[in-house]
């Protein structure tokens, strides 16, 4: 029998992961001190806000980064320093918060990320590209589905360590907070839905991640017939930090012509 709690236990298999949130928060706070358009509203909820960071001069386009935390932890304030990578390449970066479980179901979170993307896209010209990590990988993949109500200017999505088939979560303790049922798990699983046509999607994961996260990446890649990348020597947390590095393979993939 599969222990699904263990299968999704990313933190338990990465030494020092308990200190990462505090380190990210400190780096993000220091980066925000340099400037940025903060707490911009995109809806009526308390967490319906995003931060926007712009490069010098006119932006080439907009990246929207959607954070992880298994739909129940963290917010936009942990990731501001990731803007250093996109801004160095001439792109703007928007980072939204969204309502978490148990206050919101996943279907509401999906709608909120669509609203945040649309609102942010109204502030920056050019192409719109989405990248999300873990639960955020699920949410950006959901934007890439055929029914995703997002701007036509969205032309590329990368899911980093994303959860694309939600059905195994029904047998985890975290579902005591998520309150998923079988119907919603199927309806909100990108791997079980058709992909939006004409959209470039890549499924990306660290090669050192838990086998279930690797499987989740492969499932989306196979069902949607899109490329996958298993990045060597990267775990669940180190893999996403590459967004903040201007010449990283991950950011290069996201920004390629």
Average pLDDT value for residue range 231-236:
98
Q: Which of 151-155, 157-161, 162-166 has the lowest mean pLDDT?
A: 151-155
Chain segment 30-53, per-residue pLDDT in tens: 999 999 999 999 999 999 999 999
Is the pLDDT reported for residue 63 higher than 90?
yes
E strands in 69-225: 92-96, 128-133, 154-160, 200-206
Query: Over pLDDT 70: what percentage of the chain?
Result: 100
Is the pLDDT reported for residue 62 higher than 90?
yes
- What is the model's pLDDT at position 227? 98
For residue 165, cis peptide bond before it (omega within 30 degrees of 0): no
The two three-digit tokens of residue 151, written as one number = 């701007």
Taking the C-alpha atoms of residue 116 and residue 66, their distance in angstroms, rounded to an integer, is 10
Taking the C-alpha atoms of residue 210 and residue 220, their distance in angstroms, rounded to an integer, is 16
The two three-digit tokens of residue 196, written as one number = 């939006």
- What is the model's pLDDT at position 196? 96
Q: What is the pTM of this model?
A: 0.98
Is the pLDDT reported for residue 204 higher than 90?
yes
Chain segment 175-187, per-residue pLDDT in tens: 999 999 999 999 9
The two three-digit tokens of residue 162, written as one number = 């994303």
Is the pLDDT reported for residue 1 higher than 90?
no
- What is the model's pLDDT at position 151? 87
Is the pLDDT reported for residue 148 higher than 90?
no
Is the pLDDT reported for residue 64 higher than 90?
yes
Chain segment 114-130, per-residue pLDDT in tens: 999 999 999 999 999 99
Is the pLDDT reported for residue 213 higher than 90?
yes
Chain segment 68-80, per-residue pLDDT in tens: 999 999 999 999 9
Confidence band for 81, pLDDT divided at 50, 70 and 90: very high
């Amino acid at each position: 029998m599969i222990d699904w709690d263990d299968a999704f236990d990313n933190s338990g298999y990465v030494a020092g992961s308990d200190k990462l949130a505090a380190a990210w928060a400190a780096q993000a706070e220091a980066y925000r001190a340099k400037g940025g358009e903060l707490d911009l509203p995109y809806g009526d909820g308390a967490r319906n806000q995003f931060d926007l960071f712009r490069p010098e001069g006119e932006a080439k386009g907009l990246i929207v980064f959607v954070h992880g935390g298994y739909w129940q932890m963290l917010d936009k304030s942990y990731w501001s320093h990731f803007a250093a990578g996109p801004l160095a390449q001439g792109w703007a970066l928007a980072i939204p918060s969204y309502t978490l479980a148990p206050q919101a179901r996943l279907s509401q979170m999906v709608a909120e990320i669509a609203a945040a993307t649309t609102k942010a896209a109204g502030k920056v010209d050019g192409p719109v590209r989405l990248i999300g990590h873990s639960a955020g990988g699920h949410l950006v993949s959901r934007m890439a589905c055929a029914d995703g109500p997002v701007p036509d200017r969205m032309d590329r999505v990368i899911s980093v360590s994303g959860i694309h088939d939600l059905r195994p979560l029904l047998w985890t303790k975290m579902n005591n907070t998520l309150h998923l049922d079988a119907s919603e798990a199927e309806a909100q699983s990108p791997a079980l839905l058709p992909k939006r046509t004409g959209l470039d999607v890549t499924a990306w994961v660290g090669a050192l991640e838990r086998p279930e996260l690797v499987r989740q990446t492969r499932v989306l890649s196979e069902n949607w017939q899109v490329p996958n990348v298993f990045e060597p020597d990267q775990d669940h947390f180190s893999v996403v930090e590459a967004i903040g590095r201007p010449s990283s393979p991950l950011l290069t993939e996201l920004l390629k012509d």
